[in-house]
Structure 1
Amino acid sequence: MRRILLPALAALVCLPAGTSYATTSHSPARQCGVVRTGAAPIAGAEVTLYQAGRAGQLPRVLAHARTGSQGEFGFPYRRPADPTAVLYLTADEGVVRLAAALGSPGPSDQPGSPVVINERTTVAAGYALAQFVDGRGVAGTYPGLQNAAAISHNLADVSTGGIAPLLAGPPNGALTSTLPAFNTLADLVAGCVAGQTCQALFTFAQPPGKARPADTLEAVADIARTPGNNVAGLFALAGVKQPYTPVLTAAPDAWTLAIRYVGNGRELDGPGNLAFDADGNAWVTNNYQYSPSPLASVCGDTKVVKLTPTGQDARGAPYYGGGLYGAGFGITLDPKGHVWVANFGFQGSQCPVDASLFYRSVSEFGPRGAVLSPPSGWRSGSIVQPQGTASDRQGNIWIANCGGSSVVEYPRGRPELARTITPPAALRLVKPFDIAVDPAARKWVTDNGGDSVLMMSADGIPQRSITTGGIRRPLGIASDSLGDVWVANSGILAVPCGSDSATDFADAVRNPPPGDRSVTMIGPDGSTPAQPFTNGGLVLPWGVAVDGDDTVWVSNFGGGRLVHMCGARVSACPPGYRTGQPISPAATGYPSDSLTRNTGVQIDPSGNVWLANNWLTAAVQTNPGGHEMVVFIGLAAPVRTPLLGAPRRP
Structure 2
Amino acid sequence: MNPFKPLNRGLLIAGLGISLAGFGGEQAAEASIRNRVRGTVSVMGKPVADASVTLWTTRGGQEPEQVKVVRSKKDGSFAVSVKPKDGTVHYLVASGGTVNKSNVDRLTMLTVLDETVNGTVMINERTTVGSVWPNAQQLKGNQLFGSENALAVGSGHVKHLVNQSTGQFGTTLLNGFNLLSSETAARINVLSDLLALCGDPTKEQGCTKLFQLTEATNSLDAMTNIAKLPWKNTGKLYKLFDKNYPLNNNKERRTTASLPYLLFQPESFSLSIRFQGGGALALGKLGFDQKGHLWSGANWMPGSQSGVVNSIGGGMTHFDQTATAQSPPITGYNGQGLDGVGWGTGISENYAWVSTFNNKVGVFDLKDGTAVGPAIIDKEVGQLQGIGTSKNGDVWIADNTSNYMIRFPGGDFTKGKRLSFKGLQAPFGVAVDDQNRIWVSSSFNNKLTVIEGDSPDQFKTVTVALGARGLAIDSKGNAWLSQQSNSPTGALPAGAVMPPGTPNPPQQPKTIMEEFEAGAAFAAVNPNLKTLGNLALISPDLEIIQNGIAGEVAFVPWGVTIDGNDNVWVGNLYGQSLIHICGTDPSTCPEGKTTGDVIHNYQSGVIQVTTDVVVDDAGNIWSANNWFDADVVINKSYNARTSTFPGGQGLVVTYGVAAPVQNPLMGAVRKPN
What range describes the TM-score normalised by the shorter chain of this pair? Answer: 0.7 to 0.9
Contact kept? 2:327, 2:333, Cα under 8 Å: no
Which of 461, 465, 469 matches 1:465? 461
Question: Per-residue displacement from partner, 1:169-213 (whole Å, max 9, x unpaired)?
Answer: 2211122221111211111111222142222112212xxxxxx32
Paired with 1:567 and 1:636, the residues of 2 have a C-alpha distance of 12
Paired with 1:410 and 1:161, the residues of 2 have a C-alpha distance of 50
Distance 1:174 1:417, change over 3 A: closer
Structure 2 counterpart SS, 1:95: coil
Distance 1:95 1:440, change over 3 A: farther
Paired with 1:516 and 1:627, the residues of 2 have a C-alpha distance of 24
Letter in 2 for 1:97: T
Could you tell me how far 1:505 is from its partner in structure 2?
A: 2.4
Distance 1:163 1:433, change over 3 A: same
* Residue in structure 2 matched with residue 632 of structure 1 by the alignment: 654
Could you tell me how far 1:437 is from its partner in structure 2?
A: 0.6
Which of 7, 23, 40 matches 1:34? 40
Matched, 1:202 2:215: no
Structure 1 counterpart SS, 2:591: coil
Structure 2 counterparts to residues 16-55 of structure 1, below 5 A: 28-52=34-58, 54-55=60-61
Could you tell me how far 1:301 is from its partner in structure 2?
A: 2.5
Which of 442, 446, 449 matches 2:441? 446
* Residue in structure 2 matched with residue 63 of structure 1 by the alignment: 68
Matched, 1:399 2:383: no
Paired with 2:608 and 2:328, the residues of 1 have a C-alpha distance of 28
Could you tell me how far 1:75 is from its partner in structure 2?
A: 2.6
Structure 2 counterparts to residues 243-642 of structure 1, below 5 A: 243-263=257-277, 267-291=279-303, 299-314=311-326, 318-336=332-350, 338-343=351-356, 345=357, 359-367=358-366, 368-374=368-374, 378-424=376-422, 428-459=423-454, 460-468=456-464, 471-491=465-485, 497=510, 501-512=515-526, 516-529=532-545, 531-584=547-600, 589-620=601-632, 621-622=634-635, 624-642=646-664
Contact kept? 2:520, 2:630, Cα under 8 Å: no
Paired with 2:380 and 2:411, the residues of 1 have a C-alpha distance of 16
Question: Per-residue displacement from partner, 1:444-479 (whole Å, max 9, x unpaired)?
Answer: 0001211221111132344211115xx331100111
Contact kept? 2:531, 2:554, Cα under 8 Å: no
Letter in 2 for 1:506: A
* Residue in structure 2 matched with residue 18 of structure 1 by the alignment: none
Paired with 2:413 and 2:178, the residues of 1 have a C-alpha distance of 42
Paired with 1:557 and 1:296, the residues of 2 have a C-alpha distance of 16
* Residue in structure 2 matched with residue 353 of structure 1 by the alignment: none
Question: Per-residue displacement from partner, 1:91-119 (whole Å, max 9, x unpaired)?
Answer: 10122111100036x9xxxx971101111
Question: Per-residue displacement from partner, 1:247-305 (whole Å, max 9, x unpaired)?
Answer: 111111111111100025xx222111211111111112111121176799963334211
Could you tell me how far 1:34 is from its partner in structure 2?
A: 0.3
Matched, 1:76 2:78: no
Could you tell me how far 1:324 is from its partner in structure 2?
A: 1.4
Contact kept? 2:281, 2:647, Cα under 8 Å: yes
Paired with 2:420 and 2:647, the residues of 1 have a C-alpha distance of 33
Paired with 1:630 and 1:171, the residues of 2 have a C-alpha distance of 11
Letter in 2 for 1:222: N
Paired with 1:303 and 1:642, the residues of 2 have a C-alpha distance of 21
Could you tell me the TM-score, scaled by structure 1's length?
0.85
* Residue in structure 1 matched with residue 91 of structure 2 by the alignment: 88
Contact kept? 2:308, 2:517, Cα under 8 Å: no
Distance 1:159 1:446, change over 3 A: same
Paired with 1:403 and 1:228, the residues of 2 have a C-alpha distance of 42
* Residue in structure 2 matched with residue 17 of structure 1 by the alignment: none
Paired with 1:491 and 1:461, the residues of 2 have a C-alpha distance of 30
- Over the aligned positions, Cα root-mean-square deviation in angstroms equals 2.6
Matched, 1:146 2:152: yes
Q: In terms of mean alpha carbon deviation, does 497-506 or 196-205 score higher?
A: 497-506
Paired with 2:281 and 2:289, the residues of 1 have a C-alpha distance of 22
Query: Which stretches in structure 2 are left out of the alignment for 5+ residues?
Result: 1-16, 19-32, 97-104, 246-255, 491-505, 636-643
Could you tell me the TM-score, scaled by structure 2's length?
0.82
Distance 1:341 1:132, change over 3 A: same
Identity of aligned residues (%): 29
Letter in 1 for 2:122: V
Paired with 1:591 and 1:397, the residues of 2 have a C-alpha distance of 34
Query: Which stretches in structure 1 are left out of the alignment for 5+ residues?
Result: 1-12, 15-26, 206-211, 346-358
Paired with 1:161 and 1:258, the residues of 2 have a C-alpha distance of 19
Aligned length: 585
Could you tell me how far 1:619 is from its partner in structure 2?
A: 3.5
Distance 1:229 1:324, change over 3 A: same
Structure 1 counterpart SS, 2:221: helix
Contact kept? 2:309, 2:517, Cα under 8 Å: no
Distance 1:498 1:87, change over 3 A: same
Question: Per-residue displacement from partner, 1:410-440 (whole Å, max 9, x unpaired)?
Answer: 112234433222222xxx2211100001121
Paired with 1:63 and 1:439, the residues of 2 have a C-alpha distance of 46
Structure 2 counterpart SS, 1:429: coil
Distance 1:462 1:515, change over 3 A: farther
* Residue in structure 2 matched with residue 208 of structure 1 by the alignment: none
Distance 1:294 1:531, change over 3 A: closer
Distance 1:583 1:524, change over 3 A: same
Could you tell me how far 1:28 is from its partner in structure 2?
A: 4.2
